[in-house]
Amino acid sequence: MDTHSRYTVSLHYDRRLYRQDIAGSVAHARMLARQGIIADDEAESLVAGLEGIREEIEAESFPWREELEDVHMNIERRLFETVGDVAGKLHTARSRNDQVATDVRLYVKEVIDEALRAIHELRTAFVEKAASNRDVVMPGYTHVQRAQPVLFAHHMLAYFEMFGRDAERMRQARESADAMPLGSGAMAGVPYPIDREWVARELGFGKVSANSMDAVSDRDFLLDFHSAAATCAIHLSRLAEELVLWSSDEFGFVRLDDMYTTGSSIMPQKRNPDFAEIARGKTGRVYGNLVGLLTTLKGLPLTYNRDMQEDKEGLFDTVDTLIPTLQVAAGMVSTMEVQADRMRNAALNSYALATDVADYLVAKGMPFREAHGIVARLSKYAVESGKRLGELDLDTYRRFSDRFDEDVLSITVDSSIRARDVFGGTAPNRVEAAIEAAKAELEAEGA
């Protein structure tokens, strides 16, 4: 085919919708017969023909023809060849406009279910890592500076929450895809006594679209999916970045499984976190696909416009990027080795207890701001004399405030963590409860 004829062709990507297209046609043909619009034996021929075509496609013996432009025309033309002229009755009370909108909605609902399974798997990995490392202590960070000691499990459960919101956004996107456009025809509705509710039930849609003009031109459900995917990609890249940092010699907090690292061709000591880096890098195309569709839809007048054919490649690309990245992330998290000693030492060898020392003064009746100032001076002194807070003696403490007593020396990483005993905090009993709640949530979701 020359460039001119190839310009409008979408077959090379939209053939991926063949299952949804055939399912939609089968339901439509059966409905036409139930409503007396075509004869029962005609519907039977159509359904048998469509099922034969599905088998041909799956056996890779289907004669795809680019010159027929898209998946819909390819299947319809083939139906003429396999069942004869009755094929011409299939498109009664239908248009490619409501047909393609239906196909894409069916597809999106399916891939969202797949994405939800992948998110579930990843969240399970966080909970399992948390549960099998309950006592591991690490410094929590702000500004990539050691801030306060926390349980490693608490850190894992932060990701559990983050990806839980992604699941919620995916479910919302699924909800917006769950209206069936068939029956809208080209855009005004169709002049036949069809039964849209019946077709919707056959295809597993929760409802039928309420306005035919909106139904053939609405791609908001794709924007909802892309935007849920883009937010999920942010989270994957943040996780990937932490794995890159944590697996470096500088941190040494985790050892990624060999499956997820590669050596360097000239530096034999290296174990590069390539999978995490690629996961981080893939974010760009997921954002790009969202922005691409936003831009394609901008300024389109009602109703269907051929521009909308451009909705598919970005969609498939996001699906092919997001789901494998979720799966890789789950694999990296569940196989990583936690270097508990390195984490604990990083928490000990820091000034992460400064807040606790300030809180100590507050407990003795000092206003927090004043306590903060005293501990800032104390920490500065400790840094300058090359000592940790825990290495200072009581006399030194008392040079900064006479409210310090012997018990200030018993502030430790573990007492600091134990003290954060609020709902949502890092105290061991709270994290324990959070692990149980997370397990219950995963259980309720099913596999």
Binding residues for ligand ARG (CB under 6 A):
10, 14, 70, 96-97, 100, 304, 306, 308-309
143 is catalytic: yes
Q: Which of residues 159 and 304 has its CB atom nearest to ligand ARG in the complex?
A: 304
Q: Which of residues 169 and 219 has its CB atom nearest to ligand ARG in the complex?
A: 219
Positive or negative torsion for Cα 378, 411, 149, 392? positive
For 97, the enclosing helix (H) or strand (E) is helix 96-131
Contacts (Cβ under 8 Å, ≥6 apart) of 46 = 25, 26, 29, 38, 79, 83, 86, 87, 89, 90
Q: Which of residues 8 and 429 has its CB atom nearest to ligand ARG in the complex?
A: 8
CB 85 within 8 A of CB 42: no
Contacts (Cβ under 8 Å, ≥6 apart) of 268 = none
Following DSSP, what letter does each residue of 131-177 receive, concatenated? HTTTT-EEEEEETTEEEEEEEHHHHHHHHHHHHHHHHHHHHHHHHHH
Q: Which of residues 96 and 271 has its CB atom nearest to ligand ARG in the complex?
A: 96
Q: Out of 5, 132, 248, 264, which one is annotated catalytic? A: 264
Distance CA 42, CA 142 (A): 69
Smallest gap from Cβ 311 to ligand ARG, in A, equals 7
Smallest gap from Cβ 142 to ligand ARG, in A, equals 48
Q: Out of 143, 154, 155, 385, which one is annotated catalytic? A: 143
Smallest gap from Cβ 155 to ligand ARG, in A, equals 45
Cα 51 to the center of its chain, rounded Å: 34
User: Both tokens of residue 245?
Assistant: 């940092």
Smallest gap from Cβ 64 to ligand ARG, in A, equals 14
Distance CA 103, CA 111 (A): 12
Q: Which of residues 102 and 426 has its CB atom nearest to ligand ARG in the complex?
A: 102
Smallest gap from Cβ 74 to ligand ARG, in A, equals 11
Active site residues: 143, 264
